[in-house]
A = this chain, B = another copy of it.
Amino acid sequence: VVGVAELLPIGAFSRAVLISPKTLRDYHEAGLLTPAVVDPRTGYRGYRPAQLGEAAVIRELWALDVPLAEITQVLRARHPDVTRAVLTAHQERVREQAERLRRITSTLDDLLADPAAVTRLAVLERDQPSLPVLAIRGNVAESGWSAFLDDSYNRLLAELACLGLAPAGPVGAMFPGDQFSDEPVEVVAFVPTTDLLPDPVGRLERPVRRDDPDTPTAGAPRPRVLPAGRVAVATFVGPYTELSAGYRAVGAWLAGRQLTTAGPVVETYLVGPESGLPETEYRTEIAWPVREGDAA
């Protein structure tokens, strides 16, 4: 047969697989798709026809947003089990992204109904990531909350300082969301940290109850992770004595869309006494978990 080529130069290969020459060179360098031949003198790359199939696989998986590192795994292994594992993990990621976007459209719908709310910033829904903290738990009635929190933050910050760490964010507290008697309730004072594992045998170990590894022993700073989830959030501006107005706002918002709460409230003290600002400038974020999938 006359004129039958065995190798495609990068341009012809590029047009055949709809991948730019630059990208093919990058794939070469990354070890994703190595040309069959590289001329040692000129550096010219030559691709075999059999590599067209491989490139098509790359192209298709790439079009499905599969990261190149994982496409590499699929091609290296060439085994359905590996392919399945990669695609399953990827499917999960894509589903999460889609769910996030669905929620964004929902929030955008709300904001579009009242664009001025963007700069007023009343109540918004938000996905709260999980938050590693150092925490002190206590059983305290409402009249004692303030003193309990003051004391706890002093101890938590001192403990962190001892460990040579800085807080990863403003301090906060978690309260039961469904109970407003004057009985003592479980209150958790926390300071965010990125550097501690919530490990009951970690370096913060104190005499703890082994049978209850996930709850900080009352009075002892313990690493903990506040759970992720969907929350309704309002930022209240003003002194702590008026914070209940913020709760009323969130409550009205929840009721207005027939949402129910699903767990303890988290208050985060974005601007507090330590700022030196007057009390009228204090800012407290109120984040109340809402039941997943409740949305209108």
A4 and B278 contact, Cβ closer than 8 Å, known pairs A15-B170, A49-B271, A87-B112:
yes
Task: Sort chain A's interface into a size bin.
Answer: 35 or more
Residues A57 and B101 in contact, CB atoms below 8 Å apart: no
From A18, A78, A98, residue with most partner B Cβ within 10 Å: A98
A281 within 8 A of B: yes
How far does the alpha carbon of A83 sit from the alpha carbon of B102 in the complex, in Å?
A: 20
Q: Collect the chain B residues with CB atoms within 8 Å of residue A108's CB.
A: 64, 87, 90-91, 94
Interface: A53 (CB within 8 A): yes
Contacts of A124 in B (CB 8 A): 60
26 contacts between A and B (CB under 8 A): A3-B276, A4-B276, A4-B277, A5-B275, A8-B277, A15-B170, A16-B270, A18-B170, A18-B270, A49-B281, A52-B281, A52-B283, A57-B119, A60-B118, A64-B104, A64-B107, A74-B119, A80-B115, A83-B116, A87-B118, A91-B109, A94-B108, A95-B105, A98-B98, A98-B102, A98-B105
